[in-house]
Amino acid sequence: MRKNKILQKVAGKAMFGAAVIACVASSLTFTGCQKESSAAAPAGVARTAAFDQNARSTGTSGGYFWSLYYTTGSASITQGSAGNFSSTYSNVGDVVVGKGWSTGSAQNIGYNIGSLSGSYNSVGIYGWTTSPLIEYYVVELGSNVNGTKVNTVSSDGHTYSFYKHQQVSQPSIQGTATFWQYLDNWGGSSTGANHTVTMANHVNNWKSAGGEGFGSYNYQILSLEAYSGKSGSINATVW
């Protein structure tokens, strides 16, 4: 999630990926219509070259996996039923928050961004693979462009631009490492309507044109990312 990109971020921001994933928040129990709420570490937590476990919390709710990561400022996540979640964030150095699966796949993902307010950078599918270590994005709303444009891929009635970028000695889900980012950028989605992401179209293109391979799936979520002091909120559902 951390990027050395043309969109400048605050100095010293670390990758969202975890070095050794250690949950700050354990799984919360979901009952009936009751909602669950969790906040990550306090603002101003010092960062190091390795993953700072205090900046990330994860858990399960309604049969889905959720993750909240932020540096400086404040952010929280509230769990609705099944794949629904909401989040508010304020003056964040970086926040990545969302809900999905602890192990992803080349599946068809449905989503509905019920509401979105304030400022943000991107909303879309975010995940990792291992062996090789790859961090990937499918940007549905907003923009997340970084690195070299490889080609375009047509999927679900849209044309995505595929960019790749190498992260050198950066924090990841396997500790400080050198790895590649794959970013498919469309950005023209809308709120208040159901949409689909056919992940197989993206994965197949990454495998054939990415040149860096594509490994075993780690987690995969519908996420919002915002950085450089942004504030806002989102309510969304994934299935």
For residue 73, the domain's CATH number is 2.60.120.180
Q: Give percent above pLDDT 70 in the chain.
A: 77
Percent of the chain with pLDDT over 90: 72
In this structure, what are the phi and psi dihedrals at residue 160, rounded to the nearest 5 degrees?
A: -105, 140
Average pLDDT over residues 30-35: 29
Cα 15 versus chain centre, distance: 11
- Under 8 Å between Cβ of 182 and 137: yes
Within-domain flag for 180:
yes
Answer whether residue 12 is part of any domain.
no
Q: Higher model confidence: residue 28 or residue 200?
A: 200
**pLDDT tens across 217-227, in order?**
999 999 999 99
pLDDT band of 46, cuts 50, 70, 90: very low
pLDDT digits (tens, 9 = 90+) for 122-135: 999 999 999 999 99
B/e letters for 70-94, b = 16+ CB within 10 Å, e = fewer, are: bbbbbbbbbbbeebbbbbbbbebbb
- Residue 205 within any structural domain of the chain: yes
Average pLDDT, the chain: 83
Give the dihedral sign, CA 15/21/25/28.
positive
pLDDT above 80 for 19? no
Q: Residue 24 falls within a domain, yes or no?
A: no
| Residue 127: inside a domain | yes
Please check the confidence at residue 173 and state whether its pLDDT lies above 90: no
Query: Which residue in 36, 140, 212, 225 is the catalytic one?
Result: 225
Residues 6+ apart with CB under 8 A from 213: 132, 134, 207
Is 212 an annotated catalytic residue?
no
The answer on pLDDT for 216 being more than 60 is: yes
Q: Give the pLDDT score at 16.
A: 39
Predicted model pTM: 0.80
Q: What is the reported pLDDT for 1?
A: 62
Q: What is the model's pLDDT at position 14? A: 36
Say if residue 48's pLDDT is above 50.
no
Q: Is residue 112 part of a domain?
A: yes
> Would residue 185 count as lying in a domain?
yes
- Inside any domain, residue 25: no
Domain that holds residue 206: 40-238
Give the separation between CA 31 and CA 81, rounded to whole angstroms: 9
135 is known as an active-site residue? yes
- How many domains does the structure of the chain reveal? 1
